[in-house]
């Protein structure tokens, strides 16, 4: 009996590690790429460096704060898959995508009016202007970011987290290459500074969203969910569960 209990614990621990390790690697990659991009921005002067600290803080609060609503997808889809309700799992993801579109709208408004908001809160005008340049250039990233979160959650729920890890590794390459040429203006590209970093993040965001969506479309294990047969509008109780 004791031997069976130990074997069971080891089995559960192994499964937890298999699930958690790619997630941890993904977060380390994200942290490392953020540090390297911050290093590039630091070469542009003290004002940009000060603005960058504000940019990262605001970006984290707004995007992650809104995206946290979508984190429930992994649990809900995981329950549906465990119960072999595969079509329900597909409906949950589709309604997650629909919610991603809805969440995009207020975030775009916040990004567009970030300058007067910062001035109202007493921030320095020069730094606020740099922050505004970033968020105006970063508006095209918002929708793919939320869609990416949805795609990431179904990968976690179906234990396909390696797709997320590979997408992030490739995405970091895209980000660093884009940031290098757009922030600093290499290889004939314009010197865009902070706005260049925003465009690099946008390119990375669209790359990851498209890469993971193609994986969901072409990988046979996802066929049973019928993810691309639109029916998200039929069972809005799933929508309520996500929220």
**202-217, pLDDT tens digit by residue?**
999 999 999 999 999 9
| Residues 80, 68: Cα–Cα separation, whole Å | 20
Q: Tally Cβ neighbours within 10 Å of residue 173.
A: 13
Q: What pLDDT sits at residue 214?
A: 96
Residue 145: C-alpha distances to residues 104, 192, 200, 213, 240 (Å): 9, 22, 13, 12, 21
Q: What pLDDT sits at residue 23?
A: 66
Residue 29 has pLDDT above 80, yes or no: no
User: What is the 3 state secondary structure string of the chain?
Assistant: CHHHHHHHHHHHHHHHHHHHHHHHHHHHHHHHHHHHHHHHHHCCCHHHHHHHHHHHHHHHHHHHHHHHHHHHHHHHHHHHHHCCCHHHHHHHHHHHHHHHHHHHHHHHHHHHCHHHHHHHCCCCHHHHHHHHHHHHHCHHHHHHHHHHHHHHHHHHHCCCHHHHHHHHHHHHHHHHHHHHHHHCCCCCCCCCCHHHHHHHHHHHHHHHHHHHHHHHHHCHHHHHHCCCCCCCCCCHHHHHHHC
Mean pLDDT, residues 21-50: 74
Residue 102 has pLDDT above 90, yes or no: yes
Q: At 10, is the pLDDT very low, low, confident or very high (cuts 50, 70, 90)?
A: low
Q: At 103, is the pLDDT very low, low, confident or very high (cuts 50, 70, 90)?
A: very high
Whether 202 contacts 179, CB under 8 Å:
no
Q: At 16, is the pLDDT very low, low, confident or very high (cuts 50, 70, 90)?
A: low
Angle, CA of 229, 23 and 101, to the nearest 5°? 40
pLDDT tens digits for 170-211?
998 998 888 888 878 777 777 778 888 899 999 999 999 999
What percentage of the chain reaches a pLDDT higher than 70? 86
Q: What pLDDT sits at residue 224?
A: 92
- Mean pLDDT is lowest, of 2-6, 40-44, 166-170, 214-218, for 2-6
All residues at 6 or more sequence positions from 179 whose CB lies less than 8 Å from its CB, including other chains:
36, 37, 40, 196, 197, 200
Residue 3 has pLDDT above 60, yes or no: no
Residue 9 has pLDDT above 70, yes or no: no
pLDDT tens digits for 117-152?
999 998 889 989 989 999 999 999 999 999 999 999
Q: What pLDDT sits at residue 25?
A: 72
Q: What pLDDT sits at residue 1?
A: 54
CA 197 from centre of chain: 16
Mean pLDDT, residues 82-101: 91
């Amino acid at each position: 009996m004791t031997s069976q209990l130990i074997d069971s614990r080891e089995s559960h621990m192994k499964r937890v590690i298999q699930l958690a390790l790619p997630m941890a690697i993904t977060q380390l990659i994200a942290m490392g790429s953020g540090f390297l991009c911050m290093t590039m921005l630091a070469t542009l002067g003290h004002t940009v460096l000060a603005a960058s600290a504000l940019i990262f803080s605001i970006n984290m609060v707004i995007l992650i704060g809104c995206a946290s609503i979508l984190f429930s997808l992994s649990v809900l889809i995981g329950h549906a898959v465990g119960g072999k309700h595969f079509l329900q799992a597909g409906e949950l993801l589709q309604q997650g995508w629909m919610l991603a579109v809805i969440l995009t709208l207020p975030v775009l408004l916040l990004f567009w009016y970030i300058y007067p908001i910062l001035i109202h809160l007493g921030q320095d005008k020069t730094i606020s202007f740099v922050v505004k340049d970033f968020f105006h250039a970063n508006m095209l990233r918002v929708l793919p970011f939320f869609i990416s979160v949805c795609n990431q959650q179904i990968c976690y729920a179906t234990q396909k987290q390696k797709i997320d890890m590979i997408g992030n590794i490739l995405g970091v390459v895209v980000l660093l290459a884009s940031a290098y040429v757009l922030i600093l203006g290499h290889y004939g590209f314009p010197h865009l500074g902070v706005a260049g970093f925003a465009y690099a993040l946008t390119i990375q965001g669209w790359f990851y969203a498209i890469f993971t969506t193609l994986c969901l479309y072409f990988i046979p294990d996802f066929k049973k969910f019928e993810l691309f047969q639109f029916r998200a509008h039929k069972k809005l109780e799933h929508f309520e569960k996500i929220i």
